[in-house]
Amino acid sequence: MFNRRLTEDERQQWVRDGYLIIKGALPPQDVIQYTQAVDELYEQNVPPGERTDPKKGMGCRNLFEHNDLFIKLIDHPGTFGLILDLLGSYIQCTVSQVIVRGVDPESTGYIHPDGGEAMEKIRVSESSLQLQVKVMYFLTDLPEPDMGNFVVFPGSHLRPWPKERLPLGSATPGAAQLCGAAGDAVIFPHALWHGPGKNLSGKVRKVLVYRYNQLFMRPWDYEEISPQVLERCTPRQRRLLGDMGAPWRPGTYYRRPTPTEQESLMEGV
């Protein structure tokens, strides 16, 4: 089922640069459907008079409540095999987010590692599973820089985060603005210095961001997923949203809930 697994070259690139670009992670049909779903959210969140203003961005989280398409993306065949290769299978999907980034010529960007005050000081070694991995799906073609591209500092996942040197931006030496096409995805760990670049393109840039963590970490977007959403999920998706299939007991999020459940949910890998 999961048609993309990490190749040896990709593993080496991940260790060295700290990110991977997955060309065509979403097929064209999916790009159309997800763009429509994002546009619907934009209409719900942005007042009619402001929708034609390319400066008007939007952020929206916990997408599962809004549209079942966003549930499907939890274990999308174009990326989920890679998530399992990088994190192992004791994981939870802890963020689902739309970011529509408006035109913003003055922006210096917002470069950061993920996870907040404590997690930004933690870096895993090259032989470790990751603590967290994010997948950003481009829904907009980004053929050149300064279109609101995602900015990364290759190799920065191996270095301490230099808080005292802030702000870093897309013009800072070492920064790389990632170009690509709608449907491509970038996968990156929490420790990589990253953020949005300037958008001078005259139009908004749309992405979807899904974050996966080890099961023993807390979700970011929600405390618990609603029963209404869980009802609409497959067993694997429910498990990936933290439903362990049994009431909580000590150790629930540290060990497999039953001897066979974990393996059966990852079948087809």
* Binding site residues, ligand AKG, CB under 6 A: 99, 101, 114, 134, 150, 194-196, 207, 209
The smaller minimum CB distance to ligand AKG, of residues 89 and 172, is found at 172
The smaller minimum CB distance to ligand AKG, of residues 116 and 268, is found at 116
* Closest distance of CB 41 from ligand AKG, Å: 15
| Residue keyed to tokens 């949910």 | 265
The smaller minimum CB distance to ligand AKG, of residues 116 and 235, is found at 116
DSSP sequence for 122-177 = ----TTSPPSEEEEEEE-S-B-SSSBS-EEE-TTGGGS---GGGPPP-TTSTT-EE
* Closest distance of CB 138 from ligand AKG, Å: 10
* Closest distance of CB 149 from ligand AKG, Å: 7
Return d(Cα 252, Cα 206) in angstroms, integer. Answer: 37
Residue 111, Cα to own-chain centre: how many angstroms?
16
Strand 91-101, strand 150-152: pairing: unpaired
Spatial CB neighbours of 75, under 8 Å, sequence gap ≥ 6: 2, 234, 236, 237, 240
The smaller minimum CB distance to ligand AKG, of residues 149 and 238, is found at 149
* Closest distance of CB 166 from ligand AKG, Å: 14
